[in-house]
A = this chain, B = another copy of it.
Amino acid sequence: MSSFRPTPPKSSTVLGANEVEKSSLTLLSGEPTVVTAGVDLFADALTAQAAAVTPVAWQPPVGAEDALARVMADRRRLSANRTALERMLAAGASLVDVRPASEVVGLTAGQFRHAGPPITWERASGPMRGALIGATLFEGLATTAEDATNLLSGGSVEWAPCHSDGGVGPMAGVVSPSMWVFVLRDEAHDRTSWCSLNEGLGKVLRYGAYGPEVIDRLRWMSSVLGPALRAAVREHGPVDVKGIIAQMVQMGDEGHNRNRAGTLMLLRDLMPAMIDAGVASSDVADVARFVGGNDHFFLNLVMPACKLQTAAASGIPGSTVVTTMARNGTDFGIQVSGTGDTWFTGPANTPQGLFLGSYGPDDANPDIGDSAITETAGIGGFAMASAPAIVRFVGGTVPDALRTSREMYGITTGENPAYALPILDFRGAATGIDVTKVVRSGVLPQINTGMAGRVAGVGQVGAGLVTPPMECFTAALDALGEAAPPVA
């Protein structure tokens, strides 16, 4: 199979099987036309001769063609990718408990987890540093930001990616032993994931803020919110998070930057159970106000649900399906099924979008957070068609949102019927990003994201759209090529 194939124009609708059939039936009935692919030179020459020309966007595949040829020739690929998709679609996700990270992740004093691929203090971005400082203060390892910085830069605190323990954290994603986490289970694959509790909006740790109000809120979350949620979940029994996600994508949420319906459904399910569990009335009212006042609360349940889905597809030899996309504010990293836990990284891009208050593009940090696990699982930026209201939060237009969701079918291996997009006539969300399709088409996964301030301590400055750097995918392709059997 040749690696040279014209890329469909980016704005084209992906044709269904019936449409393809129809178009081939009519192929010979019209006037002959000239279609040019790629560089304008050919089209220009014909236009100069008054010939009608349909120019088609095209670019050569990015990255090493040798690796692409080798991976495409790998006889394991198709069945491995089919298995990856089947496992992703079969994965369940239920909220089964809420507990401190010390118990769930086994963190001890001076051990943290963070978003994205591994990162050193020296290379850490402002918001990542801010969140690490905040966690150091919260854990009582230091009493001033200066002392915390000395500890962190001096190597007395250790940190590793959330993903290395099967968890996820939004934005900086810093988790310390005393913080509470949601515990989610996929019974189909006997797997557990976890995520921190959402702190709400404004100056919050995950966006790199660490002032006294941030630390006070974290204390309330560990002493009141976490235990109240634990009591409610244990009283209620497993909460079907996958089922709520299926509903929320029918209610204008794409599950990354819009989680309003999901948050409301969680509240509906847990509030009566929290009362039945005997949580003090004033705490129930406070929790209801805190959760109900933050439309993003449910994001921290969508993320581990998506992690369970993609983790189910990991480690299948020959599979070119992406199982992780994550960023630490400096590097963007991906993991691919066929290459297991290996990270392929490139410099994180800076999102483009809308800014809060007087902030502008210069204030934004490069892309950060594990929340791109939602796109890895087929929602978030991939499900924007179902959430047209999101364009008012991240920029863009409604037609952009529809086009983007359609375009993602071109770089994925399948569709997830559990996450049906009503406006696309209930078509399942594009699922299972395929490294080979990304590299061959040049189309990058579309990510919907929040934007952290570049400077430690600032917090959120906006929300917008971003893509991974292509080099993550070309590096992954090289590794897949090396792992592929020699071409006969």
Which residues from chain A sit less than 8 Å from chain B, CB to CB? 247, 250-253, 260-261, 264-265, 267-269, 271-272, 275-276, 281-282, 284-286, 288-289, 292, 388-389, 391-392, 397-399, 422-423, 425-426
Residue in A271, A276, A289 with the greatest tally of chain B CB atoms within 10 Å: A271
Shortest CB–CB separation between residue A398 and chain B, in angstroms? 5
Contact A292 B268 (CB under 8 A): yes
Give the residues in chain B near A267, CB-CB below 8 Å: 264, 267-268, 271
Quick one: which of B251, B281, B284, B289 contacts A251, CB cutoff 8 A?
B251
Residues of B within 8 A of A288 (CB): 268, 271-272, 275
Q: Which residue of B lies closest to A287 (CB)?
A: B272
Cα distance A398–B399 when bound, in Å? Answer: 16
Query: How many copies, total?
Result: 2
In the complex, A250 Cα to B272 Cα: how many Å?
A: 27
- A287 CB to closest chain B CB (Å) equals 9
Q: Return chain B residues, CB-CB under 8 Å to A398.
A: 422-423, 425-426
A268 touches B272 (CB 8 A): no
Q: Are A388 and B252 in contact (CB under 8 A)?
A: no
In whole angstroms, how far apart are the Cα atoms of A286 and B247 in the complex? Answer: 23
Task: Tell me the smallest distance from the CB of A282 to a CB of chain B, in Å.
Answer: 8
A370 to chain B, nearest CB (A): 26
Residues from chain B with a CB closer than 8 A to the CB of A276 are 285
Q: A269-B292, A272-B289 are in contact. List 6 more A-B contacts (CB 8 A).
A: A261-B261, A272-B285, A272-B288, A388-B423, A398-B423, A398-B425
Report the minimal beta-carbon distance from A253 to chain B, rounded to whole angstroms. 8
Within the complex, the shortest CB–CB distance from A418 to chain B, in Å, comes to 14
Shortest C-beta distance, A373 to chain B (Å), equals 24
Q: Are B271 and A260 in contact (CB under 8 A)?
A: no
Kindly state the separation between the CA atoms of A467 and B137 in the bound complex, as whole angstroms: 65
- B423 & A397 in contact (Cβ 8 Å cutoff): no
CA distance A269 to B281 in the complex (A): 16
The distance in angstroms between the C-alpha atoms of A264 and B298, with both chains bound, is 14
B contact residues around A260 at 8 Å (CB):
247, 251, 261
A-B contact pairs, 8 of them (CB 8 A): A252-B252, A261-B261, A267-B268, A268-B288, A272-B292, A398-B422, A398-B423, A398-B426
